[in-house]
Each structure stands twice: as C-alpha cells, then as structure tokens.
Amino acid sequence: MKKVCILTSVHSPFDHRIFFKQARCLQKAGYKLTIIAQHNGNELVDDIELVALPRARNRIQRITGTWRVFKLALRQKADIYHFHDPELLFWGWLLQILSGKPVIYDVHENYAETLLLRDWLPKYLRKSVAWIFTRTERIFAGRLAAIITVSEPMTKRFAGFQTVCTAVHNFPDLNVSKSYEKYGPSAENDQYSLIYTGNMTREMGFPIILDTLTLLSQRQPAVTCLILAKSDNMEWLNNNQRETMKELVAAGTLKILERVPHNEVFKYIRLSSIGWRPGPPFQEGISTKTLEYMACGIPVVSSDVSIISRIIRESECGILVDPYNAKEHAHAILHLLDHPEEARHMGENGRKAVMQKYNWEIEEKKLLDVYNRCLSRGAG
C-alpha cells in the first residue's frame, strides 16, 4: 500500500478539497493517507491519520513556523507528498531532494493576483511582493514532480515546465449534494431569498453585498439574505459599513451563520431561492460556491468575471452583472424573485450542467492519473 502525505500550513485538515475530495478519493484507490495540518492533536479519522501542527496565533507565526511542516513530513517516509500552500514551496522542493520521493504542488488560486488585493499588505508593497512571488513560484514549482491547479488558465501559467501539470477542478461532489435533496422550503423550514457562501472580505465583494441589501431593504415582501461565513477579521469595515451591517441584521434582511460544516452548506442552499456571487474580480479561478448553487438547482446572480461567467452563459443558469454596481445586483435579484418560473428553469439548467460536466466524480480520475504518473516517474 503506497503512503501519501498531504501537507497544509493554512487549511483545516477537514478542508473539503483536501479531506473530503482528494484524501477520500486516494483512500478509495488503495492509498494510505496522512494529513499534516493545524489541529488540536493527533488522531485517526476514517482511517486517515491526522498529524497536528501547533495552531499559529497570526500570519507571521504561521509562515515562520513552516519548517515544522517539513520536519514532520520527512518523518512520515511517504511514497509521495502533496502540499497545498505557496508558503511551503521551498520546503516542498527540499523535501523532494532529501526524501527522493515525488512532491506535488496544489495551486488553489493565482496567488500573485490575490496579493494585489490583500488588505494586510500595504498598497505600495503589493506589486513588488506579487512580482517576487511569481518569480519564486516558478523557480521552485518547476523543480517538483507535479503541479495541480484548479483551472486551465492557471495550468497555462506553468507552460514549458518539464513537470506533470494538470487542472483538477474543485467541482461539487454529487454524492454530498444528493444527500441533502430532502431539504427545501416548507412550513417547517425557513426560506431565504438569497444565499452567499464565502469570506466576508473586501476582495470577495462584501461591500457590494451591503450596498445591494440596503437597496433591497424596503422591498415588500422582504428580501432575506443568508450568509455562511466567518465574521471575524473585519477590521477593514468603516463606521458607516458597520452601522449598515447592524441595521440589516436587526431588520432581518441579513442573517449570518458561522462555522457551518461544509457538507451542511448544501442544506442551506436548498432553503434559498437564489445563489449570489458578488466577487471576486479574479480571472483564473472557477467559483466552487457558484457550482454548488447550480448543483442544488437554484439560479445564480454572479459578477461577470472569470471562467464562471462562461459557464453561466453556456448553461443559461443565471444572470451576470457588473461586479461593482449594486443597482445591477439588486435589479437581477428582483427579476428572479418576480419571475419564479424563469428562475426555476435556470435552476434546472444549472443542475443539469453540474450533473453532466462540472462534478468531482469526473475530476477524481484526473487526480489519480497525476499520482500514477508521479509514482511511475519518481522524484526526478
């Protein structure tokens, strides 16, 4: 039985892509799994070994402590290693050299692009840091056994490398989605006009959410928006935005639920009329959240950016709007609420597209192919 060691210094060991999709896929294929991640302690979950990293108190402590990930990984004596964070690039390269085993770099997003929008990084440094990161990423990633990305445009960024490079999209797991089909609007369950699942940050479009809901707050019958996201680390909000948020919550227009297990997200999507994607303006990623809305058969209102726009157009499953125009967001939302038959038809189109093309059952075959190729070639 070949042993796989998955490494992450950022994500939870129960991150949906890492644990519920990739680890379980590999486990079904006969691999033995170990995941090194920030956790409360070592344990065995569903025959997957979790090796705990000390929890970092802040970003600096996490980055300066990445050597611990390398140290723990080296002890595992795995047949193949798979890491998920760009801050582990150097350690992944060193791990491949010292262990003699293949190492895979899993690229979740265009990190150079996201660095240009990070609030924690001073604006005058962002371009320089993004430039340095791009060069660093190419130096180390090109020396690894394989690179996995979440979209074809990201894969193209690594063109010319001798390494294996494949897009393994983070598409919805149909088995999880189907397990929540029993949920839906009823006398016993709340019904929400809108649902947004994601981070409550500036770059993810949270200011547009506040502006749009303010425009919709006088609507009768009332528009209700459910947000499944963490509400901490929102120091960037100004006083007016904080007050607006409080007023919307007090009025019942906005409801925020935190720490909802990922599998249960599908339950709340099915209790909602419209899936909402206000951001971000990134061009290379495919919004997994939007595909989850589609999997649950509800129409989407999405910013007209990135690859997801093409998917929505081709599938005819929603309305695309200017990412920075709250009036366009509000108009699209009202149109779908006022035309339930059209909204139902869009929802059916979206679900059909996910069932046929955009699901994890297709993508897991690509993941297994990458592993087979890496193990047959070795680290070199």
- Residue boundaries of the structural domains of the chain: 3-171+360-377, 174-356
Is the CB of residue 105 less than 8 Å from the CB of residue 165? no
pTM for this predicted structure: 0.89
Q: Are 70 and 56 in contact (CB under 8 A)?
A: no
Which residues are bridge partners to 48 per DSSP?
45
The CA-based diameter of the chain, rounded to the nearest angstrom, is 65
DSSP 3-state percent helix, strand, coil across the chain (nearest 5): 45, 15, 35
* Spatial separation of the C-alpha atoms in residues 267 and 202, rounded to whole Å: 26
Cα separation, 146 vs 162, whole angstroms: 9
In tens digits, the chain (380 residues) has pLDDT values of 899 999 999 999 999 999 999 999 999 999 999 999 999 999 999 999 999 998 888 888 898 899 999 999 999 999 999 999 999 999 999 999 999 999 999 999 888 888 877 777 888 899 999 999 999 999 999 999 999 999 998 998 888 887 889 999 999 998 877 766 766 655 445 689 999 998 777 777 788 999 999 999 888 888 999 999 876 667 777 889 889 989 999 998 999 998 888 778 898 999 999 999 987 666 667 888 999 999 999 999 999 987 889 999 999 999 999 999 999 999 999 999 999 999 999 999 999 999 999 999 999 999 999 999 999 987 65
Would you call 301 helix, strand, or coil by DSSP?
strand
Tokens of 81: 């290693």
How far, in Å, CA of 321 to CA of 304, rounded?
A: 5
User: What is the C-alpha separation between 295 and 266, in angstroms, rounded?
Assistant: 9
For residue 11, what are the CA distances in angstroms to 19, 29, 55, 108, 331? 10, 24, 11, 11, 36
CB 278 within 8 A of CB 205: yes
Q: How far apart are CA 158 and CA 344, in angstroms?
A: 40
Q: What is the CATH code for 3-171+360-377? A: 3.40.50.2000
CA pseudo-torsion sign 250, 252, 253, 255: positive
Return the pLDDT at 117: 75
- 3-class secondary-structure state, position 115: helix
Topology of domain 174-356, CATH: Rossmann fold (3.40.50)
Q: How far is residue 99's CA from residue 103's CA, in Å, rounded to a whole number?
A: 10
Burial 70-98 (b: 16+ CB within 10 A, else e): bebbbebebbbbbbbbbbbbebbbbbbee
Instruction: Report how far residue 137's alpha carbon sits from residue 150's, in angstroms, rounded to the nearest whole number.
Output: 16
| Domain 174-356 in the same topology as domain 3-171+360-377 | yes
How far is residue 7's CA from residue 143's CA, in Å, rounded to a whole number?
18
Task: Report the C-alpha gap between 278 and 287 in whole angstroms.
Answer: 11
**How many CB atoms within 10 Å of residue 302?**
28
- According to the model, what pLDDT value does residue 283 have? 61
Q: Are 343 and 299 in contact (CB under 8 A)?
A: yes
Say how many residues make up the chain. 380
**If you compute the radius of gyration of the chain from its CA atoms, what whole number of angstroms results?**
21
Task: Select from 16, 42, 44 the least CA-distant residue to 32.
Answer: 44
Residue 166: CA atoms inside 13 Å, Cβ hemisphere, count?
Answer: 18
* Cis before 221 (ω within 30): yes
For 176, 311, 344, the CA distances from 308, given in Å and listed in that order, are: 21, 5, 20
User: What is the Cα–Cα distance from 288 to 252, expressed in whole angstroms?
Assistant: 27
Amino acid symbol at 73? A
d(CA 278, CA 320): 10
